[in-house]
């Protein structure tokens, strides 16, 4: 069976780096046709720089990187240096990349790739705000039925929000973009914080990652050490979620996730709950079930697979 073709849309970000390395370490199952960057965890120049650093770390400079939207569709940009550090990937010693960004804008690349590929061939994996994808849908609506699936890290329901009481960061940064994608009719799978909070990396697992001897794995572990210490301290142990990697894990092993088809909409009107992903978990509205919601993951299976794949990189 041929590898599944994906575009990774991202705002690196420590957990974005793990998701990208996880995918690049799985070439038999996943063909990364391009990486598109968006403003989110840090501003666009840094997310683009970081994406280039990660592909060079993986020694996969054959994967092109395209810079995208520098701001959300409507709102002012909110960034997360308090979680990811000033560079967005503090903690690892990664050299300045020599690989250039592509000249084509990320939105144009998404549109062109989808229009040129057979219908249903390309999956889009969004690890940050969904601005690029929503702008591509706005620019060329004909791409919508051509998308195989959008798999995103974002949102939540049972755990509330991690940026406001109601909203998770990726959705809150550009709720209008997320609303457009969820309402588009494209198949959507959501790895929200309800799921990602069940995928918590431990110091012991990070030592196993280092013990692989892979340079990429060692640098990933260094990233994770910073992310664990500098990031959220609301968890009662030393373990911390590695959110975005759950997207890659789902593409590789969907069977290790608890899933349910639900109707999901994104609030774009309330000043209190804007950016909330409203999940009709019990089907009380009768609305069409437009989203495959990932509720939790088998953490042992997930981390074993990620250890194998990142550990296989040079």
How far, in Å, CA of 71 to CA of 84, rounded?
A: 18
pLDDT tens digits, residue range 104-144? 999 999 999 999 999 999 999 999 999 999 999 999 999 99
- pLDDT class of 233 with cuts at 50, 70, 90: low
Q: What is the pLDDT of residue 236?
A: 81
pLDDT tens digits, residue range 92-103? 889 999 999 999
Q: What is the pLDDT of residue 208?
A: 98
Q: What is the pLDDT of residue 198?
A: 97
Q: Which residue has the tokens 């073709």?
A: 5
Active-site residue, 96 included: no
Give CA 137 to chain center in angstroms. 19
Residue 238 has pLDDT above 80, yes or no: yes
Across the chain, mean pLDDT equals 96
Q: Where are the domains of the chain?
A: 4-312
- pLDDT class of 232 with cuts at 50, 70, 90: low
pLDDT tens digits, residue range 31-56? 999 999 999 999 999 999 999 999 99
Q: What is the pLDDT of residue 112?
A: 98
How far, in Å, CA of 132 to CA of 101, rounded?
A: 16
What CATH code would you report for 4-312?
3.90.245.10
Residue 230 has pLDDT above 70, yes or no: no
How far, in Å, CA of 191 to CA of 296, rounded?
A: 9
| pTM of the shown model | 0.98
Closest CA to 249 of 9, 25, 2: 25
The one catalytic residue among 14, 84, 179, 243: 243
């Amino acid at each position: 069976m041929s590898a599944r073709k994906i575009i990774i849309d991202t705002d690196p970000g420590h957990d974005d780096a793990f998701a990208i390395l996880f995918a690049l370490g799985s070439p038999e199952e996943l063909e990364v046709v391009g990486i598109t960057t968006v403003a989110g965890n840090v501003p666009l120049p840094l997310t683009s720089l970081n994406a280039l650093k990660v592909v060079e770390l993986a020694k996969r400079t054959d994967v092109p990187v395209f810079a995208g939207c520098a701001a959300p569709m409507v709102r002012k940009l909110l960034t997360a240096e308090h979680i990811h550090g000033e560079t967005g990937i503090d903690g690892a010693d990664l050299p300045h990349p020599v690989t250039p960004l592509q000249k084509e804008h990320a939105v144009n690349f998404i549109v062109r790739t989808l229009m040129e590929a057979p219908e249903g061939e390309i999956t889009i994996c969004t690890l940050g705000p969904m601005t690029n994808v929503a702008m591509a849908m706005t620019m060329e609506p004909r791409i919508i039925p051509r998308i195989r699936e959008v798999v995103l890290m974002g949102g939540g329901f049972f755990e509330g929000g991690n940026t406001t009481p109601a909203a998770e960061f990726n959705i809150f940064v550009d709720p209008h973009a997320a609303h457009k994608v969820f309402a588009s009719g494209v198949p959507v799978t959501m790895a929200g914080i309800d799921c990602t909070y069940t995928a918590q990396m431990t110091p012991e697992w990070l030592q196993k990652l280092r013990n692989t001897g892979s340079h990429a794995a060692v640098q990933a572990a260094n990233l994770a050490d910073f992310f664990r210490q500098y990031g959220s301290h609301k968890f009662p142990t030393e373990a911390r979620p590695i959110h975005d990697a759950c997207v890659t894990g789902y593409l590789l092993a969907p069977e290790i996730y608890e899933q349910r088809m639900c109707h999901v909409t994104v609030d774009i009107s309330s000043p209190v709950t804007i950016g909330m992903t409203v999940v009709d978990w019990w089907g009380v509205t009768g609305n069409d079930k437009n989203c495959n919601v990932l509720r939790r993951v088998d953490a042992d299976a997930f981390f074993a697979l990620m250890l194998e794949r990142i550990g296989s990189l040079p």
